[in-house]
Amino acid sequence: MLRCFFLVLSVLTVHASDSFTQRSQSIIDVLPTANLSGGATSLGDEVLCLKDPKLLVNGTLDISPCLYQTGRFALLVELDGALRKRAVHNTLLLNYALLHVRHFILQVPANRRYTILLRTSDPHNRFLMQGGVYGQDLENVTLQLDGIMDFGACMPMDSANCRFRKEDYPGFSYDKKLANTVSMLQFTGMLNFKFTSSTRGRVVGGGEQWYGVMNILELGDERGTTKPIMFDMEGKRSYGLEISHISFEQAAYWTTYIWASDVHIHHSNVTARTLPPELPKPLEDPSEWLEQVVRTNAWNTDGFDVSGDNVHIHDCHIMVSDDCVANKGGKNWMVENLVASGAGLTVGSEGKADNVTFRNIVMDRTIRGIYIKTTASNVLYENILIKEGLMFPIWIGPPWQGLSGGCPLIFPFLPTGVSADLGALTHHSMNALCYADQTMRVTNITLRNVTVVKSFTTPIVLFGGHENYGVSMENVTVGETPSDERFPFTAKPECYNVTIQQESLTKPGQLFENCAPTAPVCTQVGIARQAFIPCCNQSNWNPKGPTPKEWWGVC
């Protein structure tokens, strides 16, 4: 039985009702009437349906009779032809709305806002989508999702009944080699674009088909070959993006990748993991810890990845198996009031970062907490609570990625027969296992009021490629830690491959500025393990086992 949902295309304007109706009618007039698809799905009749004048009521376009929707059904089953037709149909119709809103915007005065509203009348129903929703060069447009946009039924997109076909998408071109790389929602060159909901809009990705080692081996795990991004805003830089009241669920790859400036993300959720949504009891023994680590295998499911300036992210709940929030290059960032768990609050993933603040954030059973990957300056982590850190709650060093080169995922959990006592390794063998970019620089990095309640591995690692300046710690407290004498299960923080210059001990603003000038210094450049004397109030440390002095080691 065909059920309907509402897609309303309305123009918000201060003009009189007649003028409003005229503008709305103009949008409909430019929609084509011919059969535009050479594939299995035709939009000819549906576009004619959009032209029905009876759908215009009080300046609102209600086109619910023109669209397909489905009720509850098993997602992970072979889609029949009818359901596939609905998915392609809905995607095409939304694309036409986006395309022709763009044409209409070019003909009217600026500073008007246009809203495309997608709404289901039944909260248990959803409308099926296929990857390839595409918007380009839109100005002052809002996409309001009051329902469930479900891409999961058509994943992987190259399955028999959901194969992406260019003939189904007339007027749109994609520079993608394989079907699965077509992003679910893709926007480029946008100006003042909003993606929001009046309730809690849900975007469902079906990415759990890639979660787990066996699924990854079968389906692949590389962007550009197998897995799509859920919300993709790249290509031509956008300016002015707001995302609010949206739940992104089970992405196959990055949940969002945003190349834009002036970004505001708030009151939105991201879930992409195999761990249970509610954490049961605190972890007690190594076997429980290992089980949790193994289950963080929804790889590359980043939460909010943004490359751009002037970014504000707040009041969000993020549960993923990779970066929770990642600054992929940009300045003037404020990230605050989050509950998060994943691979950390990440800075410097792909480009230089400057003037970045993370504050008032709670992280529970997180893989990492504070995570700086590459060159960054003027970064503040403040009021951060990490309840249970699974792997290195504080890590400043090279990113873990892949199985070889750089810092592989197996580091430092090395194969049997290779010593895990990294202090005993030579410089050459150390670099063969994990090495940082030699151009990496961190300047004026401050950790203030940071608490790690429990860490299952070495709590803090500073792992530089050449020189790291200006790392200071103010009221940083670590509670329960492991007590093994070998890294990565040592209680004391560790530091490797960092050349510490004599003047950096006393010069304000550089590394270890509060340390005594008589502190030990490694003068031999290039040895595997060198002095790590922290800028922190050591009286705040409460390690389990070693005394505060023993935490930091000597040459």
Q: What is the pLDDT of residue 144?
A: 84
Q: CB atoms < 10 A from the CB of 263, how many? A: 25
- Name the DSSP class of 95: H
247 and 321 together in one domain: no
Domain termination residue (choose one: 272, 287, 315)? 272
Question: Which residues partner with 144 through β-bridges?
Answer: 117, 196
User: What are 34's two structure tokens?
Assistant: 């011919």
* Inter-axis angle of helices 81-105 and 17-29, nearest 10: 120
SS3 436: coil
Domain range spanning residue 180?
5-272
Strand blocks (E) in 268-424 = 269-272, 304-307, 311-320, 325-327, 330-341, 345-347, 353-363, 370-372, 376-389, 394-396
| Positions of the chain with pLDDT lower than 70, given as ranges | 1-82, 100-112, 120-125, 156-181, 212-226, 274-297, 401-406, 409-410, 413-439, 464-470, 495-555
Write down which residue in 272, 292, 317 finishes a domain. 272
Query: Which distant-in-sequence residues (6+ apart) come within 8 Å of 259 by Cβ?
Result: 233, 234, 235, 237, 238, 307, 308
What is the total count of domains within the chain?
A: 2
Which tens digit of pLDDT belongs to each residue from 98-127? Answer: 776 665 555 555 566 777 777 766 666 678
Burial label, 527 (beta-carbon count in 10 A; 0-12, 13-18, 19+): middle
Q: How far is CA 195 from CA 210, 233, 240, 246, 274, in A?
A: 26, 12, 11, 8, 27
Q: Is residue 25 classed as helix, strand or coil in its secondary structure?
A: helix
pLDDT at residue 159, as a whole number: 57
What would the DSSP string read from start to end of 197-214? -SS-EEEE--GGGG-SHH
Same domain, 440 and 555: yes
Same domain, 419 and 508: yes
467 burial type by CB count under 10 A (0-12 exposed, 13-18 middle, 19+ buried): middle
The reply to whether 334 and 391 lie within a common domain is yes
Say if residue 338 is in the same domain as residue 412: yes
The encoded tokens of residue 213 equal 């080692």
Same domain, residue pair 19 and 156? yes
166/187 Cα distance (integer angstroms): 18
299 falls within a domain: no
CA distance readout (Å), 407 to 400, 424, 430, 499: 5, 18, 10, 19
Reading the block at residue 527, the tokens are 């040895």
The full DSSP string for 153-171 is GG-STTSTTT---GGGSTT
pLDDT of residue 22: 38
CA-to-CA distance for 328 and 419, rounded, in angstroms? 34
Does residue 286 lie in a domain region?
no
Alpha carbon distance 348, 345 (integer Å): 10
Per-residue pLDDT at 540: 37
Cα separation of 549 and 214, whole Å? 45
Q: How many CB atoms lie within 10 A of CB 361?
A: 24
Check if the beta carbon of residue 227 is closer than 8 Å to that of residue 301: no
Whether 290 maps to a domain, the answer reads no
Cβ–Cβ contacts within 10 Å for residue 282, how many? Answer: 13
- The Cα–Cα gap between 89 and 67 comes to 8
| Residues 6+ positions from 248 with CB-CB distance below 8 Å | 203, 205, 230, 231, 255, 256, 268, 269, 270, 271, 272
Instruction: List all residues 6 or more positions away from 79 whose beta carbon is below 8 Å from its beta carbon.
Output: 87, 153, 154, 159, 161, 162
pLDDT at position 424 is 44
Is residue 294 in a domain? no
Query: Which run of H or of E encompasses 429?
Result: helix 427-433
**Whether residues 268 and 376 fall in one domain:** no
Residue 151 inside a domain? The answer is yes
* Claim to verify: residue 264 and residue 183 sit in the same structural domain: yes
Task: Flag whether 298 is in a domain.
Answer: no
Question: Which residues are CB-contacts of 499 (< 8 A; sequence separation ≥ 6)?
Answer: 464, 466, 467, 522, 525, 526, 530
Any domain includes 164? yes
The pLDDT score that the predictor gives to residue 49 is 55
pLDDT at 246: 98
Give the angle subtended at the CA of 489 by the CAs of 483 and 491, to the nearest 5°: 50
Residue 23 counted as domain residue: yes
Cα pseudo-dihedral 427, 403, 348, 554, rounded to 10: -30
Whether omega before 508 lies within 30 degrees of 0, making that bond cis, reads no
Q: What is the pLDDT of residue 209?
A: 78
Q: Same domain for 266 and 308?
A: no
Q: What is the pTM of this model?
A: 0.77
Q: Are residues 240 and 133 in the same domain?
A: yes
Listed residues 272, 288, 316: the one ending a domain: 272
pLDDT for the residue numbered 533: 32
User: In angstroms, rounded to a whole number, what is the distance separating the alpha carbons of residues 459 and 448?
Assistant: 16
pLDDT one-digit tens code per residue, 380-435? 999 999 998 888 899 887 787 665 456 776 677 654 333 344 444 433 344 456 66
DSSP assignment of 288-315 equals HHHHHHHT---TT--SEEEESSSEEEEE
Q: Are 90 and 148 contained in the same domain?
A: yes
φ, ψ of residue 148 in degrees (nearest 5): -115, 115
Contact 172, 133 (CB under 8 A): no
265 and 313 co-located in one domain: no
Cis before 156? omega within 30: yes
Residue 241's SS3 state is: strand
The pLDDT value given to residue 189:
94
Q: Are 190 and 135 in contact (CB under 8 A)?
A: yes
